[in-house]
Amino acid sequence: MENNIIDIRDIKRDFKLGTETVKVLKGVNLQIKKGDYVALMGPSGSGKSTLMNILGCLDTPTSGVYVLNGKDVSVLNDDQLAEIRNKDIGFVFQTFNLLPRTSALENVALPMVYAGNSKIERVQRAEEVLGQVGLADRMDHHPNQLSGGQRQRVAVARALVNKPAIILADEPTGNLDTKTSIEIMNLFDDIHANGNTVILVTHEEDIAEHAHRIIRLRDGVIESDQRIK
CATH numbers and ranges of domains, the chain: 35-60+75-227 (3.40.50.300)
For the chain, give the percent of residues with pLDDT over 90: 83
Nearest to 66 by CA among 1, 8, 5: 8
DSSP annotation of 204 reads -
pLDDT, one tens digit per residue, over 180-227 is: 999 999 999 999 999 999 999 998 999 999 999 999 999 999 999 999
Helix (H, G, I), strand (E, B) or coil at 218: strand
- Counting DSSP H helices and E strands in the chain, the numbers are 7, 10
Residues 6 or more apart whose CB falls under 8 angstroms from that of 155 comprise 92, 93, 96, 97, 98
Report d(CA 115, CA 18) in Å as an integer: 39
DSSP annotation of 214 reads E
Per-residue pLDDT of the chain (229 residues; tens, 9 = 90+): 468 999 999 999 999 989 999 999 999 999 999 999 999 999 988 999 999 999 999 999 999 999 999 999 988 888 999 989 988 999 998 888 899 999 999 999 999 988 888 999 999 999 999 999 999 999 999 999 999 999 999 999 999 999 998 999 999 998 899 999 999 999 999 999 999 999 999 989 999 999 999 999 999 999 999 999 8
Report d(CA 93, CA 156) in Å as an integer: 9
Tell me if the pTM is above 0.85.
Answer: yes
The answer to whether the Cα torsion of 111, 113, 115, 117 is positive or negative is: positive
List beta partners, residue 91: 168
Show the CA angle centred on residue 43, arms to residues 220 and 75, nearest 5°: 35
Strand order in the sheet with 221-227: 89-93, 166-170, 197-201, 37-41, 213-218, 221-227
